[in-house]
């Protein structure tokens, strides 16, 4: 029995080997191209992700800036109002005395008397802005009024005209007696003794200390 064998002619093996090399080269080139395409796609995706993150961060920064601007506009107006009212800054006792003297001149029958104690810090006040400190001066006010409405009018005038923030702590009212200068009064006057805190807010510093007793004022 004989078997047929595949015999390659001279030069055919070299041709097949050359084609195999070309196939392997083409396959390698294809793999390199696919790898390069995947790398380029990955780079593009990363670039898009970074661009998206940058856009989101820019939008967040813009929103924060807008909110800061709104907060500044809102609080700066309140700050200017407090500054104009004299709540922020050094207390102006001379202006207080002028207002009290003016009220006394307008209503001499009230026999208005007052005493302003030395200023002291209020360090227990919560939520004070950083770098600021709250101070208060206590005023003892005594006056005669025909009725409660007059007392309220005096307190309202103080709050409107005197600088600073005024906190009414208490008022003791009792019915007094008529004297010779009050014969035209329908009823005995009300004797009122009120305690008012004059509050100011200013920047804290090493020199920020409560005023001593020499700074207290009185017309009694």
pLDDT at residue 162 above 60? yes
Instruction: Show the domain range for 75.
Output: 12-85
- pLDDT tens, 49-65? 888 888 888 888 888 78
Domain shared by 61 and 108, yes or no: no
- pLDDT tens, 13-35? 667 677 777 777 778 888 888 88
pLDDT at residue 216 above 60? no
Does some domain include residue 5?
no
Exposure string over 166-196, b if 16+ CB within 10 A, otherwise e: beeeeeeeeeeeeeeebeeeeeebbbbebeb
pLDDT at residue 117 above 80? yes
Domain shared by 129 and 26, yes or no: no
Domain shared by 210 and 128, yes or no: yes
Does some domain include residue 1?
no
Domain shared by 35 and 130, yes or no: no
Q: How many domains does one find in the chain?
A: 2
Task: Band the pLDDT of 101: cuts 50, 70, 90.
Answer: very high
Please, what's the largest Cα pairwise distance for the chain? Answer: 162
Domain shared by 23 and 53, yes or no: yes
Does some domain include residue 142?
yes
Domain shared by 56 and 148, yes or no: no
Q: What is the mean pLDDT of the chain?
A: 78
Q: What is the pLDDT of residue 179?
A: 66
Mean pLDDT (whole number) for 96-116: 91
Domain shared by 129 and 163, yes or no: yes
């Amino acid at each position: 029995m004989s078997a047929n064998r595949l015999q390659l002619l001279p030069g055919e093996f070299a041709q097949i080997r050359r084609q195999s090399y070309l196939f392997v080269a083409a396959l390698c080139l294809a793999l390199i191209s696919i790898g390069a395409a995947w790398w380029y796609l990955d780079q593009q995706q990363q670039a898009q992700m970074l661009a998206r993150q940058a856009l989101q961060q820019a939008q967040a920064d813009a929103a924060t800036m807008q909110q800061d601007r709104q907060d500044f506009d809102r609080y700066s107006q309140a700050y200017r109002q407090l500054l104009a009212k004299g709540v922020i800054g050094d207390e102006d006792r001379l202006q207080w005395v002028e207002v009290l003297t003016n009220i006394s001149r307008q209503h001499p029958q009230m026999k208005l008397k007052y005493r302003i104690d030395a200023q002291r810090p209020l360090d227990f006040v919560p939520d004070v802005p950083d770098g600021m400190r709250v101070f208060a001066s206590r005023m003892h006010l005594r006056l005669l009024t025909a009725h409660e409405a007059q007392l309220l009018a005096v307190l309202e005038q103080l709050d409107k005209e005197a600088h600073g923030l005024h906190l009414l702590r208490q008022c003791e009212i009792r019915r007094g007696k008529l004297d010779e200068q009050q014969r035209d009064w329908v009823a005995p006057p009300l004797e009122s003794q009120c305690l008012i805190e004059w509050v100011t807010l200013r920047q804290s510093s090493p020199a920020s200390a409560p005023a001593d007793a020499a700074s207290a004022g009185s017309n009694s």
